[in-house]
Amino acid sequence: LQKSLTETFGTDKYSRARKEVLTYMFSRPMQMALYFCTGILNDETLFHHYALNVPFYTHFTSPIRRYADIVVHRLLSASFGARSPIKMETQSIQKQADHCNDRKMASKRVQELSADLFFSVFVRVRR
């Protein structure tokens, strides 16, 4: 897809912007990943990563970036025996996951609205 977009949009001064906007619009319908506590879900098929086609998946980035990543790092460390278990109940972990999901969704919505505004201005200028 990336190669096709690059070939389609050429090399003029707006080609990069057009490609970025359309790439974003293509990826927009994809389901957003959600944080959840595995102790809450009984259906292990919900742990599956569709695009990677792996049955069990967890995602995290550097723990300096987001609270959810700190929790994941701590839980993984405890599961490997590298640290003592977190003293949080399953329901508390899920409550934190729900809060992180809410904030992530709100952030994504603002990003989408910003992209829509940019696209509208871009189309108006190009007429």
**Of 51, 28, 29, the residue nearest 20 (C-alpha):** 28
pLDDT number for residue 35: 83
Q: What's the pLDDT band for 51 if we cut at 50, 70, 90?
A: confident
Q: What's the pLDDT band for 77 if we cut at 50, 70, 90?
A: very high
- Residue ranges of the alpha helices (H) in 10-127? 15-27, 67-79, 90-126
pTM flag (> 0.75): no
- How much of the chain exceeds pLDDT 90, in percent? 16
pLDDT number for residue 81: 93
Domain boundaries, the chain: 1-30, 37-126
